[in-house]
A and B are shown apart, each in its own frame.
Chain A
Amino acid sequence: MSDDRFDAIIVGGGIAGTVTAYLLAKEGLEVMLVERGNYSGSKNVTGGRIYSHSLEKIIPDFAQEAPVERKITREKISLMTDDSNVTIDFSSTRLGQQGSDSYSVLRGAFDQWLAGKAEDAGVQMVTGIRVDNLIVREGKVCGIVAGEDEMEANITILADGVNSLLAQKLGYRGELSPHQVAVGVKEIIELPSEVIDDRFNCKDGEGTSWLFAGTPSAGKVGGGFIYTNKASISLGVVCTLCELIKANKTIPQMLEDFKSHPSIEPLLKGGKMIEYSGHLVPEGGLHMVPKIIGDGVLIVGDAAGFCINLGYAVRGMDFAVGSAECAARAVLKAKETKNYSAEFLQCYQSFLDDSFVMKDLKHYKNFPHFLEETPRIFDGYPGMAADMMTDLFVVTGNPPQSMTRMMMKHVKQIGLLNIAKDGWKGVRSL
């Protein structure tokens, strides 16, 4: 390698970028990773939970070594109204089996650990530098431009996150549309770990994931989330951008209201907010995946739109890892034949197609649309559930009504047919 040239340059030191860099350096390639934050994990945001399956394949037993927070063994989903909250609470030893387990993580620590792995594997880590542009000659990406400096590589991998300006500059995608992204805000609230164990009914080292539909996002497409960390709680609100315009509240106000909801406030009592962040979440699913292969360039992770929000589960990090693995395999193949043309790099697409990344994205391709087309999930059903529960549990001394009558009264408000239709559409989109 001459001093001014690398085998691969990776832009972005999030999960997608560091895993790609790690895999390539491990195979002996000269790799540089450029991250604009002062360290990996300093600029990006996640809710909180990584499904381990994809990283487990790359770094077996990673959870033993990585700074993960808690293993998730309790899943809760709630329908929330202003004054009530109806929750399904699932705990099981079936959750948390190695290979299909999941962990709450804080990106500051987790991404730095991954970056350390990459550096140990030989990656040249350049942090605190923003890549401003790409060197493009006759349609071929030949490297990067950062400030006054240029650096060339056989292949450039864009892992620069949801709002990939570089992919946009290449003309691979347009501006993000408000339908494709949600805005997320999140606080990390510090509490002693024993207090978290008690309040969330968790065993030492184990934790809860908790998602909410209804008032957290002011009845709009989106929701609230809570993930328990070792000695803190990640809590936040996500709302689709196009809906936010219609909402009667701002996102920070939604978060404030969520925190002071009667069923949330006691869980946070005495806690101290230690971090506040906001970020975009790609939510368009398969429909928003841009052009991801070009001459001398591949796109991975959020930058490629590889993320799904199912309401009861958000998955982006495992896709970031999965796409990184496919990209690394494609680059290794390209290196063998010294062919970095878009045509040859189509193998990235085939690797993706054969992996869970594309299979899952295709499987859930209609789901984002379903959520958007079914506002009742966010502004109808939470109220219905709360009303039903009230009739069930509140004893007033008035003569009782038959259970069917009692329940049907609430069902009728939304309409039986509507419920059946939503249910059918929802199940089909899954």
Chain B
Amino acid sequence: MNIISCFKVVPDEQDITIKPNRDISFEKAPMTISAYDLNCIEAGAQLAEAFEGNLIGVSIGAKKIDDSKLKKNVLSRGPESILMVADDFLEDLDTYQTANALKAAIQKVGEFDLILCGEGSADLYAQQVGAQLGQLLNVPVINSVNKIALMEGKVIVERSLEDEVETIEIPLPAVISVTSDINLPRIPSMKQILAAGKKSATILSALDVGIGDFGATLQVIETKAPEQKERKKDIIQGDSDEAIKSFITKINKVLK
């Protein structure tokens, strides 16, 4: 049983800062696993553990995704190995290009039974890549899955729709996008982190997997943070009765 969990590498949103001109700065943000893909990796890990399968993490992106901390983080969450295609023109791709690059990477992995994707990416959340990847690989594809039961040659999945739960049987191989409700991603334990240090990661160039520069179809003109309201910076010092009174008067004025 070969399972592949696809994951995107994104700047850690906790450390993204806004510059005074409202530009968004990634300078201090280390690379991390896109939050929804934590569920995808966990789903893969649970299936692999239950069925003695082999789980591989696959990612494509710019050269900077080849980050030792990040790889160790992924490997401590279950995958036996990682395959990355890292090349600088694999940045700012559209969803179809991403799906194509993933397909090329997956073909290097060889045989697979099940490919898992997250419900969307933490930065763009287009929710397209899983569906397009299935189409490109010419296998069944289903999204919004929040339960997977693996069987011989097939899976039975559940999707929570607005007012019903849909149960679907899909023959393998297949591509499945899972929701963030499917599981609670693990917090890796000491031994899992130690073991991650011994696992392998293969880093390939675009050329290695036979893809060239897709050419940009998207051009980001600007990304701005919403305008912040100027604070009045009216600070009332102390806890005297007067200070409190003046505070209440001011609040009252604004509320009126």
B212 at the interface (CB under 8 A from A): no
Please, how many angstroms separate the alpha-carbon atoms of A147 and B191 in the complex? 10
Which residues of A are found within 8 Å of B189, using beta-carbon distances? 129, 146-149
Which residues of B are found within 8 Å of A60, using beta-carbon distances? none
A266 to chain B, nearest CB (A): 16
A126 at the interface (CB under 8 A from B): yes
Please, how many angstroms separate the alpha-carbon atoms of A164 and B188 in the complex? 24
Which residues of A are found within 8 Å of B193, using beta-carbon distances? 126-129
B187 at the interface (CB under 8 A from A): yes
* Binary flags per residue of B89-132, CB closer than 8 Å to A gives 1, else 0: 00000000000000000000000000000000000000000000
Inter-chain contact B194/A124, CB cutoff 8 Å: yes
Which residues of A are found within 8 Å of B188, using beta-carbon distances? 128
Q: Which A177-233 residues have a C-beta within 8 angstroms of B? A: none
Please, how many angstroms separate the alpha-carbon atoms of A127 and B68 in the complex? 13
* Binary flags per residue of B186-199, CB closer than 8 Å to A gives 1, else 0: 01111101100100
Which residues of B are found within 8 Å of A149, using beta-carbon distances? 189-191
A34 at the interface (CB under 8 A from B): yes
Which of A39, A126, A147, A260 sits near B194, CB closer than 8 Å? Answer: A126
Which A-chain residue is minimally distant from B68 (CB atoms)?
A: A119
A269 to chain B, nearest CB (A): 12
Inter-chain contact B197/A124, CB cutoff 8 Å: yes
Which B-chain residue is minimally distant from A190 (CB atoms)?
A: B17
Please, how many angstroms separate the alpha-carbon atoms of A34 and B187 in the complex? 15
A393 to chain B, nearest CB (A): 28
* Binary flags per residue of B67-86, CB closer than 8 Å to A gives 1, else 0: 00100000000000000000
A342 at the interface (CB under 8 A from B): no
Q: Which A108-160 residues have a C-beta within 8 angstroms of B? A: 124, 126-129, 146-149, 151
Q: Which A1-37 residues have a C-beta within 8 angstroms of B? A: 32, 34
Inter-chain contact A34/B190, CB cutoff 8 Å: yes
Which B-chain residue is minimally distant from A126 (CB atoms)?
A: B193
B160 to chain A, nearest CB (A): 31
Inter-chain contact A151/B190, CB cutoff 8 Å: yes
Please, how many angstroms separate the alpha-carbon atoms of A34 and B197 in the complex? 14
Please, how many angstroms separate the alpha-carbon atoms of A3 and B197 in the complex? 12
How many contacts A-B (CB < 8 Å)?
27
* Binary flags per residue of A35-67, CB closer than 8 Å to B gives 1, else 0: 000010000000000000000000000000000
Interface centre among A39, A126, A127, by most chain B C-beta atoms within 10 angstroms, is A126
Which of B190, B197, B237 sits near A129, CB closer than 8 Å? Answer: B190
Which A-chain residue is minimally distant from B235 (CB atoms)?
A: A260
Inter-chain contact B194/A32, CB cutoff 8 Å: yes
Which A-chain residue is minimally distant from B191 (CB atoms)?
A: A149
Which residues of A are found within 8 Å of B197, using beta-carbon distances? 124
B187 to chain A, nearest CB (A): 7
Which residues of B are found within 8 Å of A124, using beta-carbon distances? 194, 197
Which residues of A are found within 8 Å of B187, using beta-carbon distances? 128
Please, how many angstroms separate the alpha-carbon atoms of A148 and B191 in the complex? 9
Please, how many angstroms separate the alpha-carbon atoms of A39 and B69 in the complex? 10
Please, how many angstroms separate the alpha-carbon atoms of A39 and B190 in the complex? 14
Which residues of A are found within 8 Å of B194, using beta-carbon distances? 32, 124, 126, 151
Q: Which A364-384 residues have a C-beta within 8 angstroms of B? A: none
Interface centre among A34, A129, A146, by most chain B C-beta atoms within 10 angstroms, is A129
B145 to chain A, nearest CB (A): 29
Please, how many angstroms separate the alpha-carbon atoms of A260 and B191 in the complex? 49
B195 to chain A, nearest CB (A): 9
Which A-chain residue is minimally distant from B239 (CB atoms)?
A: A253
Please, how many angstroms separate the alpha-carbon atoms of A124 and B68 in the complex? 13
Which residues of A are found within 8 Å of B237, using beta-carbon distances? 260
Please, how many angstroms separate the alpha-carbon atoms of A299 and B197 in the complex? 27
Interface centre among B69, B188, B193, B197, by most chain A C-beta atoms within 10 angstroms, is B193
Please, how many angstroms separate the alpha-carbon atoms of A126 and B69 in the complex? 11
A258 to chain B, nearest CB (A): 13
Which B-chain residue is minimally distant from A4 (CB atoms)?
A: B191
Please, how many angstroms separate the alpha-carbon atoms of A34 and B190 in the complex? 8
A194 to chain B, nearest CB (A): 15
B22 to chain A, nearest CB (A): 15
B193 to chain A, nearest CB (A): 5
Which residues of B are found within 8 Å of A260, using beta-carbon distances? 237
A268 to chain B, nearest CB (A): 13
Please, how many angstroms separate the alpha-carbon atoms of A128 and B189 in the complex? 9
Which A-chain residue is minimally distant from B198 (CB atoms)?
A: A3
Which residues of B are found within 8 Å of A147, using beta-carbon distances? 189-190
Please, how many angstroms separate the alpha-carbon atoms of A146 and B194 in the complex? 13
Interface centre among B69, B188, B191, by most chain A C-beta atoms within 10 angstroms, is B191
Please, how many angstroms separate the alpha-carbon atoms of A151 and B191 in the complex? 8
Which residues of A are found within 8 Å of B69, using beta-carbon distances? 39
Please, how many angstroms separate the alpha-carbon atoms of A260 and B233 in the complex? 13
Please, how many angstroms separate the alpha-carbon atoms of A146 and B187 in the complex? 13
Please, how many angstroms separate the alpha-carbon atoms of A124 and B189 in the complex? 14
A7 to chain B, nearest CB (A): 14
Please, how many angstroms separate the alpha-carbon atoms of A34 and B191 in the complex? 11
Please, how many angstroms separate the alpha-carbon atoms of A127 and B196 in the complex? 12
Please, how many angstroms separate the alpha-carbon atoms of A332 and B180 in the complex? 49
Which residues of B are found within 8 Å of A126, using beta-carbon distances? 190, 193-194
Please, how many angstroms separate the alpha-carbon atoms of A39 and B67 in the complex? 15
Please, how many angstroms separate the alpha-carbon atoms of A149 and B187 in the complex? 13
Which A-chain residue is minimally distant from B188 (CB atoms)?
A: A128
Please, how many angstroms separate the alpha-carbon atoms of A101 and B2 in the complex? 58
Which residues of B are found within 8 Å of A34, using beta-carbon distances? 190
Please, how many angstroms separate the alpha-carbon atoms of A146 and B189 in the complex? 8
List 19 A-B residue pairs with CB atoms under 8 Å apart, sorted by A's residue number.
A32-B194, A34-B190, A39-B69, A124-B197, A126-B190, A126-B193, A126-B194, A128-B187, A128-B193, A129-B189, A129-B190, A129-B193, A146-B189, A146-B190, A149-B190, A151-B190, A151-B191, A151-B194, A260-B237
The 7 closest A-B pairs by CB, nearest first: A149-B190, A146-B190, A149-B191, A126-B193, A129-B190, A149-B189, A126-B190
A: which residues have CB within 8 A of B?
32, 34, 39, 124, 126-129, 146-149, 151, 260
20 further A-B contacts with Cβ under 8 Å, apart from A129-B190, A149-B191, are A34-B190, A124-B194, A124-B197, A126-B190, A126-B193, A127-B193, A128-B187, A128-B188, A129-B189, A129-B193, A146-B189, A147-B189, A147-B190, A148-B189, A149-B189, A149-B190, A151-B190, A151-B191, A151-B194, A260-B237
